[in-house]
């Protein structure tokens, strides 16, 4: 039984899962968008978000922790048939991505489902992307109230409105008759 065992197995051994997670995270940091299956994307998303949170802190111990978790693969670029080193994955993580998300409290990635399916096994394909700097932060949801409290507030609001309406009608009547209605008389009228 697998009671209380977190994470997806993905039909791989633990070493293979670790290598897969590292490779997907490194590719996402390098290219900022990757296409993969929904299960793999859901598995690597929290890992990448934790790495970006480390990069936001930006100290030496956080950089060492990121290297231990991720590895420090080189970013290579092919120009005129020659491969040139443009930097490392951890270097890009700490120099570009960390400062990009300083103002963002979390949610650095998104998963976009594609209509395409993989030919071999008909797996659902998705795009796993890092959010751009100009992406808005979602507004926080208002917490829902219990129904009993809502009913009470609605009822009290109705009673307040009826009290205001009664006071307005008393004021209008007093203007017509030329007499003033005191608060105690209004209260006595409301009770009846």
Is 105 strand, coil or helix? coil
List the structure tokens of 157.
Answer: 């609001």
List the structure tokens of 190.
Answer: 């409301």
Query: Taking 90 as the threshold, does the pLDDT of residue 157 lie above it?
Result: no
Q: Is the pTM of this model over 0.85?
A: no
Residues 113 and 152 in one domain: no
CATH code of 87's domain? 3.90.1030.10
Domain count, the chain: 2
Residues 110 and 165 in one domain: no
Predicted confidence at residue 183, as pLDDT, reads 54
List the structure tokens of 25.
Answer: 């995270």
Residues 41 and 73 in one domain: yes
Query: Taking 70 as the threshold, does the pLDDT of residue 178 lie above it?
Result: no
Strands 124-130 and 33-37: antiparallel
In percent, the amount of the chain with pLDDT more than 90 equals 66
Domain interval for residue 22:
14-130
Residue ranges in 34-112 assigned as alpha helix (H): 38-57, 60-70, 89-92, 98-100
Q: How many helices (H) and strands (E) does the chain have?
A: 7, 5
Predicted confidence at residue 147, as pLDDT, reads 72
Which distant-in-sequence residues (6+ apart) come within 8 Å of 153 by Cβ? none
Residues 168 and 77 in one domain: no
Residues 102 and 71 in one domain: yes
């Amino acid at each position: 039984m697998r009671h209380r065992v977190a994470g997806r197995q993905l039909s791989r051994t633990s070493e293979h899962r670790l290598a897969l997670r590292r490779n997907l995270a490194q590719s996402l940091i390098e290219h900022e968008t990757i296409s993969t299956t929904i299960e793999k994307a859901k598995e690597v998303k929290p890992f990448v978000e934790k790495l970006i949170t480390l990069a936001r802190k930006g100290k030496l111990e956080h950089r060492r922790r990121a290297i231990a978790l991720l590895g420090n693969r080189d970013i290579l670029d092919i120009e005129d048939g020659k491969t040139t080193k443009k930097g490392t994955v951890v270097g890009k993580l700490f120099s570009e991505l960390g400062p990009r998300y300083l103002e963002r409290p979390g949610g650095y990635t998104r998963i976009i489902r594609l209509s395409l399916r993989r030919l071999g096994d008909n797996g659902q394909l998705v795009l796993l992307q890092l959010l751009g700097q100009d992406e808005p932060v979602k507004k926080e949801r208002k917490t829902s109230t219990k129904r009993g409290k809502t009913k009470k507030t609605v009822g009290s609001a109705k009673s307040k409105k009826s009290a205001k309406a009664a006071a307005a009608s008393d004021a209008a009547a007093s203007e017509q008759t030329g007499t003033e209605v005191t608060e105690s008389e209004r209260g006595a009228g409301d009770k009846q």
